[in-house]
Amino acid sequence: MRILLIGPPGAGKGTQAVRIAAHLSIQHVSTGDLFREHIEQGTELGRNARSHLRAGLLVPDEVTIGVVEERLAHPDTGRGFLLDGFPRNRVQAEALDGILAGSKSRLDAVLGLEIPEAQVVSRIAGRRVCRRDREHIFHVDHRPPEAAGTCDVCGGELYQRDDDREATVRRRLEVYHSETAPVIDHYRVQGLVATISALGQVQEVLDRALAALGQGRMNASGTSGRRPL
Ligand code: AMP
Residue 82's CATH number? 3.40.50.300
Domain assignment present for residue 31? The answer is: yes
Q: Which of the pair, 213 or 162, is modelled with greater confidence?
A: 213
Best CA proximity match to 212, nearest among 225, 221, 201, 200: 225
% residues pLDDT > 70 (the chain):
94
Q: Cα–Cα distance between 94 and 84 in angstroms, integer? A: 16
Residues making up the chain, counted from first to last: 229
When pLDDT is averaged across residues 3-23 and rounded to a whole number, the result is 94
For residue 78, tell me if it sits in a domain: yes
CA 64 to ligand 1 centroid distance, Å: 9
Count of CB atoms situated within 10 Å of the CB of 122: 16
Report the chain's mean pLDDT, rounded to a whole number: 90
pLDDT band at 228 (very low <50, low <70, confident <90, very high): very low
Residue 165: inside a domain, yes or no? no
Closest to 125 (Cα-Cα) out of 164, 167, 175, 174: 164
12 with 142: CB under 8 angstroms?
A: no
Closest Cα partner for 186 from 120, 117, 107? 107
Given the CA of residue 87, which atom of ligand 1 is nearest to it?
19
In a domain, 11, yes or no: yes
Q: Residue 216 above 80 pLDDT? A: no
Q: Report yes or no on 160 lying in a domain.
A: no
Please give the residue range of the domain that contains residue 204: 2-115+180-215
Q: How confident is the model at residue 122 (pLDDT cuts 50, 70, 90)?
A: confident
134 included as an active-site residue: no
Testing ligand 1's pocket by substitution, the residue of 29, 61, 88, 89 carrying the most ligand atoms inside 8 A of its CB is 88
Domain count, the chain: 1
